[in-house]
Amino acid sequence: MKFLFVALVLQLTLSDAMHNSEPAENLPYYAYVTFVNAQMEFYGGGALISGIHVLTCGANVQGFTMWRVSVGSNRRSQHQNFITTQAVAHPNYAEANNVRMNDIGIITLLQPVVFSASIFPIALGPVFGDEEPSPMLNIQSLIMGFAGNLTAGTQGLENLTQGHVRTTDVATCVALYPASDLIQHFCAEDRSVGSNFCLGDQGGPVTTMARGREIMVGIQSLPGCTIRPSLYIRVSSYREWIRSETGV
Ligand SMILES: *[C@@H]1O[C@H](CO)[C@@H](O)[C@H](O)[C@H]1NC(C)=O
Ligand SMILES: *[C@@H]1O[C@H](CO)[C@@H](O)[C@H](O)[C@H]1NC(C)=O
Protein backbone atom coordinates (compact mmCIF):
# COMPACT_ATOMS: atom_id res chain seq x y z
CA MET A 1 0.00 0.00 0.00
CA LYS A 2 1.29 3.47 -0.79
CA PHE A 3 0.60 6.74 0.91
CA LEU A 4 1.98 10.19 0.52
CA PHE A 5 3.72 12.10 3.20
CA VAL A 6 1.05 13.86 5.21
CA ALA A 7 2.45 13.53 8.70
CA LEU A 8 2.12 17.14 9.73
CA VAL A 9 -1.07 18.81 10.59
CA LEU A 10 -0.99 22.32 9.25
CA GLN A 11 -3.97 22.63 7.00
CA LEU A 12 -2.60 21.69 3.64
CA THR A 13 -4.30 21.82 0.32
CA LEU A 14 -3.78 18.31 -0.92
CA SER A 15 -4.22 19.05 -4.58
CA ASP A 16 -1.24 21.40 -4.69
CA ALA A 17 2.00 20.78 -6.44
CA MET A 18 4.81 23.19 -5.71
CA HIS A 19 2.63 26.23 -5.61
CA ASN A 20 2.67 28.86 -8.36
CA SER A 21 6.00 27.64 -9.62
CA GLU A 22 7.74 27.97 -12.96
CA PRO A 23 9.65 25.37 -15.05
CA ALA A 24 13.24 24.85 -13.87
CA GLU A 25 16.34 24.09 -15.86
CA ASN A 26 18.31 21.10 -14.65
CA LEU A 27 19.82 21.99 -11.28
CA PRO A 28 22.77 19.59 -11.11
CA TYR A 29 22.71 19.26 -7.32
CA TYR A 30 18.99 18.57 -7.06
CA ALA A 31 17.97 15.07 -5.95
CA TYR A 32 14.48 13.59 -6.11
CA VAL A 33 14.34 11.21 -3.16
CA THR A 34 11.97 8.28 -2.70
CA PHE A 35 11.98 6.64 0.72
CA VAL A 36 10.25 3.54 1.97
CA ASN A 37 9.59 1.52 5.08
CA ALA A 38 7.71 -1.73 5.52
CA GLN A 39 4.35 -0.32 4.45
CA MET A 40 4.79 3.00 2.80
CA GLU A 41 6.57 4.91 0.08
CA PHE A 42 6.93 8.68 -0.01
CA TYR A 43 8.86 11.20 -2.02
CA GLY A 44 10.65 14.45 -1.38
CA GLY A 45 13.79 16.34 -2.26
CA GLY A 46 17.42 16.61 -1.34
CA ALA A 47 20.71 18.00 -2.58
CA LEU A 48 24.01 16.40 -3.46
CA ILE A 49 26.74 17.91 -1.28
CA SER A 50 29.44 15.45 -2.36
CA GLY A 51 29.73 12.48 -4.69
CA ILE A 52 27.99 10.24 -2.16
CA HIS A 53 26.12 12.50 0.27
CA VAL A 54 22.61 13.90 -0.13
CA LEU A 55 21.45 16.48 2.38
CA THR A 56 17.72 16.27 3.06
CA CYS A 57 15.26 16.79 5.91
CA GLY A 58 15.15 14.46 8.91
CA ALA A 59 11.56 13.53 8.14
CA ASN A 60 12.72 11.88 4.90
CA VAL A 61 15.10 9.68 6.87
CA GLN A 62 13.70 8.92 10.33
CA GLY A 63 11.76 5.64 10.35
CA PHE A 64 12.66 4.65 6.79
CA THR A 65 14.85 1.81 5.63
CA MET A 66 15.62 2.38 1.98
CA TRP A 67 16.12 5.40 -0.24
CA ARG A 68 16.24 5.95 -3.98
CA VAL A 69 18.14 9.07 -5.00
CA SER A 70 17.40 10.30 -8.52
CA VAL A 71 19.64 12.90 -10.11
CA GLY A 72 20.86 14.23 -13.42
CA SER A 73 17.85 15.79 -15.08
CA ASN A 74 14.97 18.19 -14.68
CA ARG A 75 12.81 15.42 -16.20
CA ARG A 76 12.02 12.56 -13.86
CA SER A 77 11.91 10.02 -16.68
CA GLN A 78 15.56 10.82 -17.49
CA HIS A 79 16.99 10.47 -14.00
CA GLN A 80 19.85 8.22 -12.94
CA ASN A 81 18.73 6.30 -9.88
CA PHE A 82 20.79 5.17 -6.91
CA ILE A 83 19.39 2.86 -4.24
CA THR A 84 20.84 2.86 -0.75
CA THR A 85 20.06 1.68 2.76
CA GLN A 86 22.45 4.16 4.40
CA ALA A 87 21.05 7.34 5.95
CA VAL A 88 21.15 9.20 9.23
CA ALA A 89 18.76 11.75 10.73
CA HIS A 90 20.00 14.33 13.20
CA PRO A 91 20.10 12.71 16.67
CA ASN A 92 17.75 15.42 18.00
CA TYR A 93 15.26 15.24 15.16
CA ALA A 94 11.75 15.51 16.60
CA GLU A 95 8.25 16.54 15.66
CA ALA A 96 6.84 18.93 18.24
CA ASN A 97 3.90 21.33 18.17
CA ASN A 98 3.51 21.16 14.39
CA VAL A 99 7.16 22.03 13.82
CA ARG A 100 9.98 19.66 13.00
CA MET A 101 13.01 20.27 15.19
CA ASN A 102 16.50 19.53 13.83
CA ASP A 103 14.82 18.44 10.61
CA ILE A 104 17.98 17.45 8.81
CA GLY A 105 19.34 14.15 7.55
CA ILE A 106 22.00 12.73 5.29
CA ILE A 107 21.58 9.90 2.77
CA THR A 108 24.81 8.17 1.77
CA LEU A 109 25.10 6.46 -1.59
CA LEU A 110 26.89 3.15 -1.88
CA GLN A 111 28.89 4.34 -4.89
CA PRO A 112 29.74 7.89 -5.92
CA VAL A 113 27.85 9.58 -8.71
CA VAL A 114 29.94 10.59 -11.71
CA PHE A 115 30.12 14.36 -11.87
CA SER A 116 29.07 15.99 -15.13
CA ALA A 117 27.37 19.13 -16.36
CA SER A 118 24.09 17.63 -15.14
CA ILE A 119 25.27 16.09 -11.82
CA PHE A 120 27.31 18.20 -9.45
CA PRO A 121 27.20 18.92 -5.71
CA ILE A 122 26.24 22.28 -4.25
CA ALA A 123 28.45 24.22 -1.84
CA LEU A 124 27.25 24.92 1.69
CA GLY A 125 27.29 28.31 3.39
CA PRO A 126 29.47 29.28 6.34
CA VAL A 127 29.13 28.01 9.87
CA PHE A 128 26.53 29.93 11.88
CA GLY A 129 28.33 32.62 13.86
CA ASP A 130 31.40 32.70 11.63
CA GLU A 131 29.77 35.23 9.37
CA GLU A 132 26.37 36.78 9.08
CA PRO A 133 23.77 34.05 9.46
CA SER A 134 22.69 33.16 5.98
CA PRO A 135 20.27 33.71 4.47
CA MET A 136 19.93 37.24 5.80
CA LEU A 137 16.61 39.01 5.97
CA ASN A 138 15.05 39.57 2.58
CA ILE A 139 17.71 37.70 0.62
CA GLN A 140 16.19 36.10 -2.45
CA SER A 141 16.52 32.34 -2.60
CA LEU A 142 15.56 29.59 -5.00
CA ILE A 143 13.35 26.62 -4.12
CA MET A 144 12.54 23.71 -6.38
CA GLY A 145 10.82 20.35 -6.44
CA PHE A 146 8.83 17.72 -8.32
CA ALA A 147 5.79 17.71 -6.05
CA GLY A 148 2.84 16.54 -8.01
CA ASN A 149 -0.89 16.33 -7.84
CA LEU A 150 -1.15 14.41 -4.61
CA THR A 151 -4.63 13.14 -5.31
CA ALA A 152 -3.41 11.45 -8.46
CA GLY A 153 -0.69 9.10 -7.26
CA THR A 154 2.52 8.57 -5.41
CA GLN A 155 4.95 10.01 -7.92
CA GLY A 156 6.17 13.49 -8.48
CA LEU A 157 5.54 15.43 -11.64
CA GLU A 158 7.60 14.73 -14.74
CA ASN A 159 9.17 18.20 -14.82
CA LEU A 160 11.08 20.04 -12.11
CA THR A 161 9.63 23.39 -11.10
CA GLN A 162 11.09 26.25 -9.08
CA GLY A 163 10.08 29.38 -7.20
CA HIS A 164 11.72 32.42 -5.67
CA VAL A 165 11.30 33.21 -1.98
CA ARG A 166 12.68 35.83 0.36
CA THR A 167 13.52 35.37 4.01
CA THR A 168 10.71 36.62 6.24
CA ASP A 169 11.15 38.73 9.37
CA VAL A 170 11.28 36.92 12.68
CA ALA A 171 7.98 38.28 14.05
CA THR A 172 5.99 36.96 11.08
CA CYS A 173 7.74 33.61 11.32
CA VAL A 174 7.17 33.16 15.04
CA ALA A 175 3.54 34.26 14.76
CA LEU A 176 2.82 31.42 12.31
CA TYR A 177 5.16 28.85 13.86
CA PRO A 178 5.26 29.55 17.62
CA ALA A 179 7.35 26.44 18.27
CA SER A 180 10.04 27.41 15.78
CA ASP A 181 13.56 28.17 16.91
CA LEU A 182 15.17 30.91 14.85
CA ILE A 183 18.62 29.46 15.30
CA GLN A 184 17.58 26.31 13.48
CA HIS A 185 14.66 27.61 11.41
CA PHE A 186 13.87 30.51 9.16
CA CYS A 187 10.77 31.46 7.25
CA ALA A 188 10.65 32.51 3.63
CA GLU A 189 7.91 33.41 1.21
CA ASP A 190 7.21 34.78 -2.22
CA ARG A 191 5.10 37.91 -1.90
CA SER A 192 4.76 38.54 -5.60
CA VAL A 193 3.38 35.33 -7.14
CA GLY A 194 3.14 33.18 -4.02
CA SER A 195 5.44 30.38 -5.12
CA ASN A 196 5.88 27.90 -2.28
CA PHE A 197 6.91 24.34 -1.69
CA CYS A 198 4.34 21.69 -0.84
CA LEU A 199 4.00 18.05 0.19
CA GLY A 200 6.43 16.01 -1.84
CA ASP A 201 8.99 18.82 -2.01
CA GLN A 202 10.14 18.65 1.61
CA GLY A 203 13.83 17.98 2.09
CA GLY A 204 14.76 19.87 -1.05
CA PRO A 205 17.26 22.69 -0.89
CA VAL A 206 16.91 26.45 -0.71
CA THR A 207 19.81 28.12 -2.46
CA THR A 208 21.06 31.66 -2.78
CA MET A 209 23.89 33.50 -4.49
CA ALA A 210 26.84 34.41 -2.31
CA ARG A 211 29.95 36.03 -3.76
CA GLY A 212 28.98 34.93 -7.22
CA ARG A 213 28.26 31.28 -6.54
CA GLU A 214 25.14 29.38 -5.63
CA ILE A 215 25.18 27.96 -2.10
CA MET A 216 22.67 25.89 -0.15
CA VAL A 217 21.37 27.87 2.81
CA GLY A 218 18.29 25.93 3.84
CA ILE A 219 16.21 22.77 3.67
CA GLN A 220 12.52 22.79 2.86
CA SER A 221 11.07 21.56 6.17
CA LEU A 222 7.41 22.33 6.74
CA PRO A 223 5.41 22.69 3.54
CA GLY A 224 3.06 25.62 3.53
CA CYS A 225 1.62 25.13 0.03
CA THR A 226 -0.95 27.91 -0.01
CA ILE A 227 -0.04 29.03 3.52
CA ARG A 228 2.91 31.42 3.60
CA PRO A 229 5.59 31.72 4.77
CA SER A 230 6.90 28.15 4.88
CA LEU A 231 9.43 26.96 7.43
CA TYR A 232 12.98 26.04 6.45
CA ILE A 233 15.95 24.57 8.29
CA ARG A 234 18.94 26.90 8.50
CA VAL A 235 21.83 24.83 7.16
CA SER A 236 24.50 27.11 8.65
CA SER A 237 23.43 26.04 12.16
CA TYR A 238 24.21 22.41 11.29
CA ARG A 239 27.47 22.97 9.47
CA GLU A 240 29.55 21.21 12.08
CA TRP A 241 27.19 18.23 12.30
CA ILE A 242 27.25 17.90 8.51
CA ARG A 243 31.04 18.04 8.54
CA SER A 244 31.30 15.41 11.26
CA GLU A 245 28.96 13.06 9.37
CA THR A 246 30.33 13.58 5.86
CA GLY A 247 33.66 15.34 5.94
CA VAL A 248 32.12 18.02 3.70
C1 LIG B 1 -5.36 15.86 -9.73
O2 LIG B 1 -5.62 14.65 -10.40
C3 LIG B 1 -6.97 14.27 -10.36
C4 LIG B 1 -7.10 12.88 -10.97
O5 LIG B 1 -6.30 12.73 -12.12
C6 LIG B 1 -7.78 15.33 -11.13
O7 LIG B 1 -9.15 14.99 -11.12
C8 LIG B 1 -7.59 16.68 -10.47
O9 LIG B 1 -8.21 17.68 -11.21
C10 LIG B 1 -6.11 17.01 -10.37
N11 LIG B 1 -5.94 18.23 -9.60
C12 LIG B 1 -5.15 19.21 -10.01
C13 LIG B 1 -5.05 20.39 -9.08
O14 LIG B 1 -4.52 19.18 -11.03
C1 LIG C 1 8.23 18.75 -19.60
O2 LIG C 1 9.02 19.75 -20.22
C3 LIG C 1 9.23 19.53 -21.62
C4 LIG C 1 10.16 20.62 -22.10
O5 LIG C 1 11.38 20.52 -21.47
C6 LIG C 1 7.91 19.52 -22.34
O7 LIG C 1 8.13 19.23 -23.70
C8 LIG C 1 7.02 18.45 -21.74
O9 LIG C 1 5.74 18.52 -22.33
C10 LIG C 1 6.87 18.65 -20.24
N11 LIG C 1 6.14 17.51 -19.69
C12 LIG C 1 5.10 17.63 -18.88
C13 LIG C 1 4.44 16.38 -18.45
O14 LIG C 1 4.72 18.73 -18.50
The mean pLDDT value for 18-28 works out to 90
Nearest ligand 2 atom, CA 159: 1
The residue type found at 78 is Q
Residue 81: CB within 6 Å of ligand 2? no
C-alpha 7/C-alpha 247 separation (Å) is: 31
Exposed (0-12), middle (13-18) or buried (19+): which is 35, by Cβ within 10 Å?
A: buried
The answer, yes or no, to whether the previous bond of 135 is cis (omega within 30 of 0) is: yes
Mean pLDDT computed over 39-44: 88
Least confident of 8-12, 109-113, 179-183, 189-193: 8-12
- Region 25-50 average pLDDT: 94
Among 229, 221, 148, residue whose Cα is nearest residue 190: 229
Ranges of each domain in the chain:
15-246
Q: How far apart are the first and last CA of the chain?
A: 37
Question: Ligand 2 centroid to 231 CA: how many Å?
Answer: 29
Residue 9 has pLDDT above 60, yes or no: no
Q: Is the model's pLDDT at 154 over the cut of 80?
A: no
pTM score above 0.85: yes
E strands in 157-198: 161-167, 185-189
Ligand 1: centre distance to CA 216 (Å): 32
How far away, in angstroms, is 196 Cα from ligand 1 center? 19
Quick one: 15-246 is in which CATH superfamily?
A: Trypsin-like serine proteases (2.40.10.10)
Q: Is 158 in the pocket of ligand 2 (CB under 6 A)?
A: yes
pLDDT digits (tens, 9 = 90+) for 85-139: 999 999 999 998 889 999 999 999 999 999 999 999 999 976 655 555 456 677 8
What's the Cα-to-Cα distance from 207 to each of 7, 42, 148, 179, 201, rounded to whole Å?
Answer: 25, 23, 21, 24, 14
pLDDT score of 32 more than 60: yes
Say what the alpha-carbon torsion angle 152, 153, 159, 163 is, to the nearest 10 degrees. 70
For residue 60, the CA-to-ligand 1 centroid distance in Å is 25
As a whole number of angstroms, the distance between CA 176 and CA 116 comes to 41
Identify the residues whose C-beta falls under 6 Å from ligand 1.
15, 149, 151-152
The whole-angstrom separation of Cα 197 and Cα 79 is 21
Cα separation, 200 vs 204, whole angstroms: 9
Of the listed ligands, the closest to the CA of 17 is: 1
Is the Cβ atom of 85 under 6 angstroms away from ligand 2? Answer: no
Q: Whose CA is nearest to atom 4 of ligand 1?
A: 152
- For the CA atoms of the chain, what is the radius of gyration? 16
b/e per residue 167-195 (b: at least 16 CB within 10 A) = bbeeeebeebbeebeeebbbbbbbeeeeb
User: Percent helix, strand, coil in the chain (nearest 5)?
Assistant: 10, 40, 50
CB of 159 closer than 6 A to ligand 2? yes
| Window from 14-28, 187-201, 214-228 with minimum mean pLDDT | 14-28
**CA 16 to ligand 1 center in whole angstroms:** 9
